[in-house]
Amino acid sequence: MKQPPLEDQYQMFGSISLSAFGAELLRHSLLPELLGKDAASLLYWAGKQLARRYPLETLDDVAVFFERAGWGALSVGEERNDELSIELSGPIIAARFSLYGSCSFQLEAGFLAQQIEQQKRFVTEAVELPSKQAGKARILVKWDRKQAIE
């Protein structure tokens, strides 16, 4: 099924204001129960699939996507030769940590890995890092310069 352009979806859904409760019910109650022990890897894969469906040209575009998707505020940290540190923050991230203590950001990590792979044209993966600051998530994205994507 062909997806409507992302900008059309932003316009259509952007004016609707909902609480994050419904999304969090799915993320923390239903999906882990349905996916079981494979939840983390399947959510990572799902994030990669979403990124393939919604390719974005720049990290600024990715940050806008995160905000509009309710995934938090994305801050890009230091970029080294083959890695980039990213931080997620904002009320939704702080609330998830506060309510659940240990949270998974595998959906976001998979999405970031695939977006950066598409932008840099190198095989890319992402991993969650332990949070240094309360209420913030950290993701490290790494690419392999020896494995170019054609």
Who's near 144: CB < 8 A, 6+ residues apart? 82, 122, 123, 124
CA distance 125 to 123: 7
Q: 55: which 2 tokens?
A: 């390719």
Q: What is the helix (H) or strand (E) element at residue 110, kind and residue range?
A: helix 106-120
Domains of the chain: 19-146 (3.30.1380.20)
* pLDDT, tens digit, 9 for 90 and up, residues 35-63: 999 999 999 999 999 999 999 999 999 99
Tell which residue, 96, 79, 84, 107, has the closest CA to residue 136: 96
| Nearest alpha-carbon partner for 84 in 129, 19, 48 | 129
Q: What does the pLDDT look like over 64-104, one tens digit per residue?
A: 999 989 899 999 998 999 999 999 999 999 998 888 877 89
pTM of the model: 0.88
